[in-house]
Amino acid sequence: MRNSARARTILLTNDDGINAPGLRTLYEGVKDLGKVYVIAPATNQSASSHSFTLRRPIPVKQVKPRWFAVSGTPTDCVLISHHALLKKSIDLLISGINDGPNLGDDVLYSGTVAAAIEGTLLGFPSIAVSFEKAGVNVATAISLVRQLATRLLRKPLPRKTLLNVNIPARALTGVKVTRLGKRIYQDMAVKLKGPTGETCYQIDGEMDFKILRGTDFEAIHQGKVSITPLHLDMTNFRELRRFRRELGQLRANDE
């Protein structure tokens, strides 16, 4: 059982890299809430999703007290923090503040969200925080993060649950608890020629979204901060009973 009298250990990480302005903003905003460590990628790891480095050395450099640059992904940062640097003492993880939103299907590709997912899998409360536009509504972002952090240090989230928070760029009209919306990715594979004339493809293009009631996209469009509880059990419970009934008689061989 953890000793509630000790200073709480808070891990900050991101996918934009240890020198990202959003990470510094986050640190300045929460550094008085406990024993705060920054353990983040040495370079930008945006869209790295939940990838991690397996069976290869990962250089880690201490850049100043309680700040470590990891030559790996956001998931690498969390794993190294938990198993080595902080020795399984983490009370809260905050990932961000990301330069750009992580809404709807974005959560599947985001290194920012992946870090919070890994923290959740390891058993400590985790929050992913993103700006729709970097540096806009900073005071609101920090105020909200502090409120959420204080709450989660006192009352952790249910098992396998994390919070995905997005801060709108427009004038604020409130806070809304939301579900994930639908991202639309357009022109994702653009054909081009490489430096020696070979055919290449660049994954890029415009992004759009559907404004559906109750979603994170709707909240941001309305100027509201979006807070989405994400759950990591991917089982489709609605279909579970039907598939058990329909597929329960299948055999593994031709006996």
What is the crossing angle of helices 138-154 and 21-30, to 10°?
50
Tokens 């204080």, residue located:
150
What are the helix and strand counts (H, E) for the chain? 6, 13
**3-state DSSP assignment of residue 40:** strand
pLDDT of res. 255: 52
Tokens describing residue 82: 């938990």
Cis upstream peptide for 97 (omega within 30°): yes
User: Model pTM?
Assistant: 0.89
pLDDT of res. 211: 78
Q: Which residues are CB-neighbours of 190 under 8 A, at least 6 positions away?
A: 201, 202, 203, 204, 205
Residues in the chain with pLDDT values less than 50: 1-4
Helix (H) or strand (E) holding 148: helix 138-154
Tokens describing residue 97: 């503040």
Helix ranges (H only) for the chain are 21-30, 74-80, 111-122, 138-154, 216-221, 237-247
Tokens 């640059």, residue located:
69
**Phi and psi, residue 191, nearest 5°:** -80, 135
Q: Render pLDDT for 67-125 as a digit per residue (tens, 0 to 9).
A: 999 999 999 999 999 999 999 999 999 999 999 999 999 999 999 999 999 999 999 99
Return the number of other C-beta atoms located less than 10 Å from residue 121's C-beta. 17
Structural domains for the chain: 9-181+211-247 (3.40.1210.10)
Q: Render pLDDT for 59-76 as a digit per residue (tens, 0 to 9).
A: 999 999 999 999 999 999
